[in-house]
Amino acid sequence: MQALRIMIVEDEPVIAEEIAATIEDLGYIAVAKVMHSKDVLANFKTSSPDLVLMDINLGQGKDGIQLAAELKAEKNV
């Protein structure tokens, strides 16, 4: 069975790194760590994750709820 590919959307770099380390310790693959809402869709298309862990408050730009709806329209994750 292939490991689950997970994309992390988190605007705090330290938290994103901690999440990625935990994911990898559990045997999953952290395929992308994205910190800015403007970069989420492009990274989603190139990394092709199975699951997205999305922060809701991402600072300026779209919030995590808006971005999640956009990602779901691209691929059912």
CA pseudo-torsion sign 18, 19, 22, 27: negative
> What's the average model confidence in pLDDT over 56-75?
92
Digit-coded pLDDT (tens) for 25-64: 999 999 999 999 999 999 999 999 999 999 999 988 899 9
Q: How far apart are CA 1 and CA 27, in angstroms?
A: 11
Task: Count other Cβ atoms within 10 Å, centred on residue 3.
Answer: 12
Task: Give one word for 28, left, alpha or beta, with left for phi > 0 and alpha for psi -120 to 50.
Answer: beta
What pLDDT is recorded for position 60?
A: 85
- Checking if the pLDDT of 1 tops 80, the result is no
Would you mind telling me the total number of residues written for the chain in this entry? 77
6, 28 in Cβ contact below 8 A? Answer: yes
- Checking if the pLDDT of 69 tops 90, the result is yes
> What's the average model confidence in pLDDT over 4-33?
97
What pLDDT is recorded for position 24?
A: 97
